[in-house]
Amino acid sequence: MTAAMDTENALFDLPPDVADARAWAHDFAVRYIRPAAADYDAREETPWPVIQDAAIAGLYTPEFALQAFTDPSGLMLPVVAEEIFWGDGGMGQALLGTFLPLAALVGAGTPEQIRTWTPEFFGSVEHPAVAALCASEPDAGSDAANIRTRAEFDEPSGDWILNGVKTWATNGGIAGVHVINATVDRDLGARGHALFLVPPGTPGISQGQKFSKHGLRASHTAEVLLEDVRIPSGLVLGGKDALDARLAAARERRKVRVPAAMAAFEATRPSIAGMAVGVARAAYEYALDYAKTRVQFGRPIIANQGIAFMLADMATEIDAARLLAWRASNQLARGIPLRNAEGSMAKLKASEVAVRTTEQAIQILGGNGYTRDYPVERWARDAKIFTIYEGTSEIQRLIISRAISGIRIE
């Protein structure tokens, strides 16, 4: 255990079940993720055998996922996410990508929908499945309210009919269940959006382009095309009656809840921060070990302040980012409103720490850091995603500045 992982002397002790889960996830990362990571990155393939290993180990199961989502301390998710992403960013995304649609289901679904659909998201040990949350579109990335994918209710059949093009979906097209953010009433902007479950094998849903990426290459990212996709009325998250009531309130300009997809992103930001901390910690630990053993000018390179101070900053920044992630997660679990956008603060800080730390790790490794024979260049490629997805760093700053000022900063 390294200094940056030794959090027992932080503000508080981890609850025993969270500490156990951390050790368990770390062990899984050491045994199954690290050894396979470079290969899946090079081949740009979803690591299905490792997802199955995680299912066998009990990490990739509906039971564990729901336990993590309902952990009263809120720390289970960021702590486990840190360990899995410490193993590898791309494989971590392949293993935890399903947790984003799960956050949407848990946040917006009825208890019956959560009970029925969570197992479908994960499949079985014999046949593991992944799930996808499709919110982004070609013309609606940061401007998430601008989606065009429509959900129309067909009264005679009692079905919803979905049409549109989604993009950048993690697990899009290879997922069993796709959770689709669609507009039911465009005049209402984001308040007219709802989330729909599209079960495996539903006609009309297909994969478009699969993206070849800079990092997170073991995670599948693709367009999802929806052409007259029919699903039963009960597959809108929260139920149709609740949706009708929400739309009626929005039309009468009464206050309505934050749209479900945005609520899912809010809830997952501290865990995304945990993932970024994991990648940063991996690079820091590697660079620390390297700096102690690489000798130039007759002494280890860490004996130079130029290198040692860089490592000191890395350790400090990683611990600061982790504490922000834990604070936001703990607030969410205790139902304390994130009035100063503490979730966005955690995501912003941890993303930028991951990018800076991995870049510094390459610098510390010198020429070796720049090659694929060493893992830090892969971690640097992976780290860049955190300033982009689930709200870019600029969007996090918008959210934070609006929250702290009460002014609509543009």
Ligand X SMILES: Cc1cc2nc3c(=O)[nH]c(=O)nc-3n(C[C@H](O)[C@H](O)[C@H](O)COP(=O)(O)OP(=O)(O)OC[C@H]3O[C@@H](n4cnc5c(N)ncnc54)[C@H](O)[C@@H]3O)c2cc1C
User: Which residues are marked as active site?
Assistant: 390
Q: Are 292 and 300 a contacting pair, CB within 8 Å?
A: yes
Residue 378 tokens, joined: 């892969």
84 vs 365, beta carbon nearer ligand X: 84
Closest distance between ligand X and the C-beta of residue 162, in Å? 15
Interface residues with ligand X (CB under 6 A)? Answer: 100, 133-136, 141-142, 168-170, 213, 216, 221, 385, 388-390, 392, 394-395, 398
135 vs 314, beta carbon nearer ligand X: 135
Closest distance between ligand X and the C-beta of residue 134, in Å? 6
Q: State the pairing for strand pair 178-183/132-134.
A: parallel
- The string of DSSP letters for 390-407 reads TS-HHHHHHHHHHHHH-S
Question: How crowded is residue 187: how many other Cβ atoms within 10 Å of its Cβ?
Answer: 9
Q: Can you point out the beta strands (E) in 131-213?
A: 132-134, 150-154, 159-170, 178-183, 193-198, 205-210
122 vs 168, beta carbon nearer ligand X: 168
Closest distance between ligand X and the C-beta of residue 135, in Å? 3
Residues in the chain: 410
Q: Is the dihedral of CA 299, 301, 305, 309 positive or negative?
A: negative
CA distance 129 to 251: 39
31 vs 214, beta carbon nearer ligand X: 214
27 vs 394, beta carbon nearer ligand X: 394
Closest distance between ligand X and the C-beta of residue 10, in Å? 31
Which residue's CB atom is positioned nearest to ligand X?
A: 141
The identity of residue 410, as a single letter, is E
Task: Report the 3 state secondary structure along 257-314.
Answer: CCCHHHHHHHHHHHHHHHHHHHHHHHHHHHHHHHHHHCEECCEEHHHCHHHHHHHHHH
